[in-house]
Amino acid sequence: MEKEKIITVKNLTKKFGDFTAVEAISFDVYKGEIFGFLGANGAGKTTAMKMLIGISNPTSGEANVAGFDVQSNSEMVKKNIGYMSQKFSMYDDLTVKENIVFFGGIYGLSRAEIKIKTAALVAELQIEDIINSLVGSLPLGWKQKLSFSVALLHEPKIVFLDEPTGGVDPITRRQFWEMIYTQAYKGTTIFVTTHYMDEAEYCDRVSIMVAGKIEALDTPKKLKEQFKVDSMNDVFLKLARNIE
């Protein structure tokens, strides 16, 4: 079965002065898969992701996301992707509803569409009682679930999640991954970075970045076989240690 490529990356490089943050990485992501993008702090994950979502220009190499080149056609890329950043990015001084209206609006949804979307979200997440609360007053777990939902408002083909579950409890993480699965099942491609190795096990395929390069890329099962270990945690440790 020929799988449709939705992201293709060739020799993508980003340099800040003399420092090479991302060094000639190449990989493909297929439509509808959950692609785990792993790496230690400072390995270059966020930088690589910023190039893919069109807010950072590559120094060299190319990347095609959702059918558009990230450098020459970044605005079209932005139309087709959703993004949830590491730093939580809804407005604390607006209510949940106002945030939905605002983000829906700037993605070009009409007021009527936003109304339908809001109703659907309220039903799905059961948030009738908090829809008019200020986002700043909500617990982190809720904020992140909402942030994910807002990133999906305009029905993007791909959604990029940058450490979406940082700092939340295991139950909320579990619920969050259930949302990810539901979305992937609907055909949305998920591109996710994480530090939690148990989450890496949930991914269809995983790449591991070390010092700006991709050192391993395969399904979690095959990676474990390749490195002859029992868990993704050990795969990660082995890779990181070998490099050092």
Partner 1 sequence: MKTILFIVQKEFKQIFRDKNMLKLIFILPILQLLILSNAATFDVKNINITFVDNDQSSDSKNLIESFRASSYFKSTASFFSEKEAVEEMQKGNTDIIVNIPVHFNRDLQKQQKTSVSVTINAIDAATAGIENVYVTQIITTFNSKIQTESTYLSDLTEVQESLLVIPSFWYNKTLNYKTFMVPGILVLLVTMLTLFLSSMNIVKEKELGTLEQINVTPIKKHQFIIGKLFPFWILGLVILTVGLIIAKVVFNVPMLGNMLLVYLFTGVYLLLVLGIGLFISNHTDTQQQAMFIAWFFMVIFILMSGLFTPIESMPKWAQNSTLINPIRYFVEVMRMVMLKGSGFSDIIPQFVIISVYAILMNGLAVCSYKKTT
Select from 23, 69, 98, 113 the one that contacts partner 1 (CB under 8 A): 98
Find the shortest distance in angstroms from Cβ 49 to partner 1: 10
For residue 88, count other CB atoms closer than 10 A to its CB.
16
Q: Which is nearer to partner 1, 92 or 155 (CB)?
A: 92
Q: Work out the end-to-end distance of the chain between its first and last CA atoms, rounded to an integer number of angstroms.
A: 39
Find the shortest distance in angstroms from Cβ 161 to partner 1: 12
Give yes or no for residue 189 binding partner 1 (CB under 8 A). no
**CA 88 to CA 98: how far, in whole Å?**
16
Contact of 202 with 190, CB cutoff 8 Å: no
Cα→Cα distances 224→26, 66, 237, 240, Å: 22, 30, 12, 15
Select from 7, 34, 48, 101 the one that contacts partner 1 (CB under 8 A): 101
Residue in the structure block whose two tokens are 């991914």: 203
For residue 170, count other CB atoms closer than 10 A to its CB.
10
With vertex at residue 9, the alpha carbon angle to CA 80 and CA 78, rounded to the nearest 5 degrees, is 20
Q: Which is nearer to partner 1, 118 or 232 (CB)?
A: 118
Hey, which residues between 66 and 95 contact partner 1 (CB under 8 A)? 74-76, 78-79, 81, 83, 85, 87-94
Q: Which is nearer to partner 1, 74 or 194 (CB)?
A: 74
Contact of 182 with 32, CB cutoff 8 Å: no
Contact of 183 with 33, CB cutoff 8 Å: no
Q: Please state the length of the chain.
A: 244
Site stretch for partner 1 (CB under 8 A), options 107-115, 165-173, 175-183, 208-216: 107-115
Find the shortest distance in angstroms from Cβ 229 to partner 1: 36
Residue in the structure block whose two tokens are 């009738």: 128
Find the shortest distance in angstroms from Cβ 156 to partner 1: 10
Hey, which residues between 32 and 61 contact partner 1 (CB under 8 A)? 53-57
Give yes or no for residue 164 binding partner 1 (CB under 8 A). no
Find the shortest distance in angstroms from Cβ 103 to partner 1: 8
Total residues at the site for partner 1 (CB under 8 A)?
30
Cα dihedral 70/75/77/82 (nearest 10): 130
Give yes or no for residue 242 binding partner 1 (CB under 8 A). no
Positions touching partner 1 (CB under 8 A) are 53-57, 74-76, 78-79, 81, 83, 85, 87-94, 98, 101-103, 105-108, 110
